Amino acid sequence: MKDVARQAGVSTATVSRVLNDQPNVKLEVRAKVLEAIEALKYRPSRVARRLRTNSTHVIGLIISDIQNLFFTSVTRGIEDVASRNGYSLILCNTDEDLDRERVYLEVMHDENVAGIILASASETGHDPELYNSHIPIVALDRLIKDVPLDTVLVDNVGGAKTAVTHLLSIGHRRIGLITGQQHLTTGRERQEGYEQALKEFGLAIDPVLIRRADFRQVAESRQQALELLTLPQRPTALFTANTMNTLGALTAIQELGLRIPDDIAISTFDDIPWASLLDPPLTAVPQPTYALGKTAGEMLLARIADPDRPPTQIRLELQLVVRESCGAHRRMNMAAGASQ
């Protein structure tokens, strides 16, 4: 920067003004500075700038499973908003580990990022002080209790209820559930939706039919599905609460040689990728992942711009997608099918 100033015959202060598009720089001086910058291939240091101004354009993103298409798709949404507004992303993967999450939150703080988007590994969260730094935090996909944060979620209860109601409406009365961790909003609320749907049909909740399998673990989900499907009184339908739960269930169904939908119906939360390749295709409640990310990004930018606005919570609505198999598919041999 000094070099640029010397080359242009001005002070570093003027160079800084040009860099930051401030007024009060004569047009010809500005041109001269620009020229010098060009000639010297000068690039300002973001680090120095960040030190001086307390934070520049970096957003920290803390997610719990980078191999989950749900989160990468969300990330894509955030990234687009970020890069469109001149922000870069620091991505961290906690692997659902609360300790790693805490470390990353501290790192983000030490990096002095402009803001954080956090898909927390637990609703319980950490000491409140960790959230009370001057750095804005948006909670993504999962609530954090007792802390008034901006939050963007999907309507887990409603979505699950819709999917289960669909199974009920086509006649199923004994429906198994495979859902994820109870300390996650997603795992808990999707079970809540399942239960609400059953209650509305006047059915009792049978604890035997309610199974839990880590949202990351296909193998665990498979195991739970195997148990459900070998019950003396086998359920006639399954509702699975995320993609891994679904894949595990499909694997189990396959291993047991059951046919969909004749032997067992299935509907799922959180679409499985390339579901259309299946025949009959899977009935699912897909999540608006990209929109989730976009919303979270925009919320964070809004809060950065105005730290004093009241905390907002947004819940995105979900829709059931009932996929019908069409004639062309009929000759194909497919892996799994819809509930109908």
Partner DNA sequence: ATGAAAGCGCTAACAC
Partner DNA sequence: GTGTTAGCGCTTTCAT
Which residues of the shown chain bind DNA in the complex (CB under 7 A)?
1, 9-17, 19-20, 23-26, 29-30, 43-45, 48-49, 51-53
Work out the angle between the directed axes of helices 218-229 and 243-255 (0-180°, nearest 10).
50
Nearer to DNA (CB atom), residue 111 or residue 214: 111
Q: What residue 12 binds from a copy of itself, DNA, none (CB within 5 to 8 A, per partner kind)?
A: DNA
Q: Residue 69's binding partner, choosing from DNA, a copy of itself, none, with beta-carbon cut-off 5 to 8 A by kind?
A: a copy of itself
Q: Smaller CB distance to a copy of itself: residue 45 or 312?
A: 45
Contact residues for 98 (Cβ-Cβ < 8 A; gap 6+): 121, 122, 126
> Measured between alpha carbons, how far is 241 from 187 in angstroms, rounded to an integer?
7
Reference 266, options 277, 252, 274, 255; nearest CA is: 252
Helix count (H) and strand count (E) of the chain?
A: 12, 11
β-pair type (237-240, 265-269) = parallel
Q: Pick from a copy of itself, DNA, none: which does 53 bind, CB < 5 to 8 A by kind?
A: DNA
**Least CB distance to DNA at residue 33 (A):** 9
Report the amino acid identity of residue 155.
D
Residue 120 touches which of DNA, a copy of itself, none (CB < 5 to 8 A by kind)?
Answer: none
Considering beta carbons, is residue 15 or 197 the nearer one to a copy of itself? 15
Nearer to a copy of itself among residue 205 and residue 332 (C-beta): 332
Choosing among a copy of itself, DNA, none, which partner's interface includes residue 279 (Cβ < 5 to 8 Å by kind)?
a copy of itself
Site for a copy of itself, rule CB under 8 A:
41, 43-48, 50-51, 66-67, 69, 72-73, 75-76, 79, 83, 88-93, 100, 104, 106-107, 109-112, 129, 218, 247, 250-251, 253-260, 273-274, 276-279, 328-337
- Mapping DSSP to helix (H, G, I), strand (E, B) and coil, where does residue 8 land? helix
Q: Which does 124 bind (CB under 5 to 8 A by kind): DNA, a copy of itself, none?
A: none
The nearest distance, CB 52 to DNA, in angstroms, is 4
CA distance 140 to 119: 5
Q: How far apart are CA 213 and CA 171, in angstroms?
A: 26
**In sequence order, which residues have a C-beta less than 8 Å from that of residue 187 and are 6 or more positions away?**
179, 180, 181, 212, 215, 241
